[in-house]
Structure 1
């Protein structure tokens, strides 16, 4: 019978990121970048508004989050924690609703904590924010890259270890939120990759009441050329439109009624009157202006071409290297357009572990030194009991492994034992039986066969 043909694929397969040794190109995200899951605890009980709020927060956390996560009523927090390790999830954002109707948000670091408990006092969905805008920002390429995190007033100069909001709590909260996104290097990060801003602003209370309140805002960054009149902007946009493959209908200015391009620059498409800043000639620039160095690709010249260009520069005498660099600098106006959602978060408590640990700080419950010592004693006893259980479980696993190994050796030696026993029985039979008895037994066997 011919041997069955086995397929041998000749094309290159995708690299396994867990086994690759060299650097891996994963697009905009890296394997070591923080990853998060936004989860609704009690998916059928939180309501439609909180469910939509969770979807909006997932949009904020993109691309390093599970955007299409589907929760089930049977799923518990333990189920998600088990999957955090294989999936590389570092943060959990848990939305829930209490029996009294309060919406809560827990921010936890997986798998060992700590956990920050917030109460969502007020919130607005992304669709509500966009309805209130005259020109809402559409969904484009903003969500391909993570947002730029901006935190304000997280640390107060007057805070210390004895304050109602201690200094170490402010540092811990800052560290937790900073770890939500990968750090950036201002010298090497291209400006075009920063398309969104996540603003976390802490409200400074006038009275030292021990409250820690954060305002959550999400913006898109838009830039446009500054100091350019509207007709010139339209001409620049038309030039870009002509060089692209998109539809040119409605994007080009109508110059058919004008005699000269100067009429369009001064009076617009109608050519009637002069445009000033007070009219519709140029928009008022109230945004922040920055200078951006354009990273245009440079053409590689040969030695002869470089020598010719150098000779032309020396002949002109006015063109210098600094002037060439200044030609690539462009002034642009930066504007923020809110995307939503909005949230007002009040920090209630901080605890160790993931939603099950010792309470490190609480806004309303304050304990004396004796109560703190008793709590520390209880938690130390729990740690010892847990360590004893882990030690016992480890010993049981080792014992079962040894028993399994010994049982395997016994099974492997069973055929040899049976063969040795058969040889011993046959040898004993031959020694104790005479030739006459063997002949009689053989004859009886022959009769039985007949």
Structure 2
């Protein structure tokens, strides 16, 4: 139960302090909660039946659930855990008829039924002479009554026991010691027909009325104003007059089996403590005729425990179980390999990023070191007389004179080469480098200092113009 905490008042206004509803500490926490929704496209009458079933399972069901055809069963399963949902009831339609499934969360079983016929709440209210408004009765959970679920032998008995356990666990269990009598206002009946193997579902409201009173006295007790136009005194109306003392047709319906002494006062005028009352059941609806088709061990896809139309030998069942175990093992192996591949790809991506950062840092260091080397080379060229200066570089637009080696130098180099054949290879390399420097050295024109490369072409042209003038 939930207790609403009223907000304190300040003057004519109430100060809002709490926006939640406190839970009663004495209320049971483990209560079966259900969700009723459709699967696929269904007709208008099946949609109305879903609304009626939600009224039956109140107050521990989602009465205003807005489901979509795009939602899958996995989506509902992900939400069921945090919300504390214990049962799913789904309705679907096919070419054969309307089907219903009851699932126990989170590990099953799953029961599949075929709806042979059903009647809605509005149809029952239209057929009854005095329909009732069951709004007060729907605020409390109903009582569950099972009939013909205890007899049978062998496999049929096991199937009945499983059905009885499923139907009982759909609704909260009642404790006789702590039950509140005014909360017992509804009854849900499940009856098993052994001949047709159908299950009849009914939904009733419990009504109590005082016993031993005439119809006239009951009207007065129920605060209904009588018509006294035909009577001279109120005693004629109470005693019956021409109507008769016990002329009520409801008195004929009362039997000793339906009469009880109330231990507490309950809803209704005249239903006081220690008062003898007669209990009656007023049908609310809906009416449903179910036929069991299949029982699965898990949620929508486990091992089949019962099938109405297909029977298999123990050998076939063992083969199917073996194939299922193989599929589960393969699925597990694929999942493990997939997880390993994902981790490997993540590691490779991280290593690739790390190598890229190292290459970038090494390139920056090389650039810095090359700049430092260029500066060192510039200072060395100024002090070395054999080094080539910038002014000696020949520009691209003015070709330099090709210098042929001096024959005397070549003869000297040949003699030195013949004498140093037995020496180390370093002297040979040094002599070759000196000869190449002499061959590539450009001759300076008289009175002119050439510029370096294309970069200083314009300054060189200006200097030539000044010289001509």
Pair in the same fold by TM > 0.5: yes
2: CA distance, partners of 1:186 / 1:25 = 22
In the alignment, which of 388, 393, 396 is matched to residue 333 of structure 2? 388
Q: Which residue of 1 aligns with 2:167?
A: 177
Q: Which residue of 2 aligns with 1:107?
A: 102
In the alignment, which of 165, 173, 198 is matched to residue 213 of structure 1? 198
**1:337 and 2:282 aligned:** yes
The gaps in structure 2 that reach 5 residues or longer are 1-14, 267-271, 380-469
1: CA distance, partners of 2:104 / 2:249 = 53
Q: Which residue of 2 aligns with 1:361?
A: 306
**1:292 and 2:262 aligned:** yes
Instruction: Tell me the secondary structure at the aligned position of residue 23 of structure 2.
Output: coil
2: CA distance, partners of 1:141 / 1:147 = 12
The gaps in structure 1 that reach 5 residues or longer are 1-9, 18-23, 206-210, 239-250, 297-326, 438-450
Q: Which residue of 2 aligns with 1:38?
A: 36
Which residues in structure 2 correspond to 1:282-321 (within 5 Å)? 283-286=251-254, 288-294=258-264
Larger Rg belongs to: 2
Q: Residue 103 of structure 1: CA displacement? A: 0.9
Q: Is the 8 Å Cα contact of residues 214 and 245 (structure 2) preserved in structure 1?
A: no
Judging changes above 3 Å, is the alpha-carbon distance between structure 1 residues 259 and 84 closer, same or farther for their aligned structure 2 residues? same
Q: Is the 8 Å Cα contact of residues 266 and 273 (structure 1) preserved in structure 2?
A: no
In the alignment, which of 154, 159, 162 is matched to residue 153 of structure 2? 159
2: CA distance, partners of 1:342 / 1:188 = 31
Deviations 1:284-330 (A, max 9, x none): 3425111111369xxxxxxxxxxxxxxxxxxxxxxxxxxxxxx9411
1: CA distance, partners of 2:343 / 2:197 = 49
Judging changes above 3 Å, is the alpha-carbon distance between structure 1 residues 362 and 395 closer, same or farther for their aligned structure 2 residues? same
Q: Residue 135 of structure 1: CA displacement? A: 0.9
Deviations 1:396-424 (A, max 9, x none): 788899999x99xx9xxx9xxx99xx99x
Q: Residue 389 of structure 1: CA displacement? A: 4.5
Instruction: Tell me the secondary structure at the aligned position of residue 350 of structure 1.
Output: strand
Q: Is the 8 Å Cα contact of residues 107 and 115 (structure 1) preserved in structure 2?
A: yes
Judging changes above 3 Å, is the alpha-carbon distance between structure 1 residues 373 and 282 closer, same or farther for their aligned structure 2 residues? closer
Q: Which residue of 1 aligns with 2:63?
A: 67
Instruction: Tell me the secondary structure at the aligned position of residue 283 of structure 1.
Output: helix
Q: Residue 234 of structure 1: CA displacement? A: 3.1
Deviations 1:360-408 (A, max 9, x none): 111111111221111111122123234435555666788899999x99x
Which residues in structure 2 correspond to 1:254-293 (within 5 Å)? 261-267=234-240, 272-273=241-242, 275-277=244-246, 279-280=247-248, 283-286=251-254, 288-293=258-263
Q: State how many pairs are aligned.
A: 359
Q: Which residue of 2 aligns with 1:5?
A: none
1: CA distance, partners of 2:344 / 2:205 = 60
2: CA distance, partners of 1:202 / 1:236 = 41
Please give the TM-score of this superposition, normalised by the length of structure 1: 0.67
Q: Residue 335 of structure 1: CA displacement? A: 0.4
**1:228 and 2:228 aligned:** no
Judging changes above 3 Å, is the alpha-carbon distance between structure 1 residues 175 and 256 closer, same or farther for their aligned structure 2 residues? same
Q: Which residue of 2 aligns with 1:322?
A: none
Judging changes above 3 Å, is the alpha-carbon distance between structure 1 residues 337 and 28 closer, same or farther for their aligned structure 2 residues? farther
Instruction: Tell me the secondary structure at the aligned position of residue 251 of structure 2.
Output: coil
2: CA distance, partners of 1:274 / 1:119 = 51
**1:191 and 2:176 aligned:** no
Q: Is the 8 Å Cα contact of residues 259 and 279 (structure 2) preserved in structure 1?
A: yes
Instruction: Tell me the secondary structure at the aligned position of residue 294 of structure 1.
Output: coil
Deviations 1:203-233 (A, max 9, x none): 112xxxxx74210111111111112223332
Q: Residue 132 of structure 1: CA displacement? A: 1.6
Instruction: Tell me the secondary structure at the aligned position of residue 64 of structure 2.
Output: coil
1: CA distance, partners of 2:207 / 2:295 = 37
Larger RCO, structure (CA 8 Å, separation 6 or more): 1
Judging changes above 3 Å, is the alpha-carbon distance between structure 1 residues 26 and 328 closer, same or farther for their aligned structure 2 residues? closer
RMSD: 4.1
Q: Which residue of 2 aligns with 1:21?
A: none
2: CA distance, partners of 1:364 / 1:115 = 17
Q: Is the 8 Å Cα contact of residues 29 and 63 (structure 1) preserved in structure 2?
A: no
Q: Which residue of 2 aligns with 1:324?
A: none
2: CA distance, partners of 1:396 / 1:29 = 50
Q: Which residue of 2 aligns with 1:25?
A: 23
In the alignment, which of 122, 126, 131 is matched to residue 126 of structure 2? 131
Which residues in structure 2 correspond to 1:243-262 (within 5 Å)? 251-253=224-226, 261-262=234-235
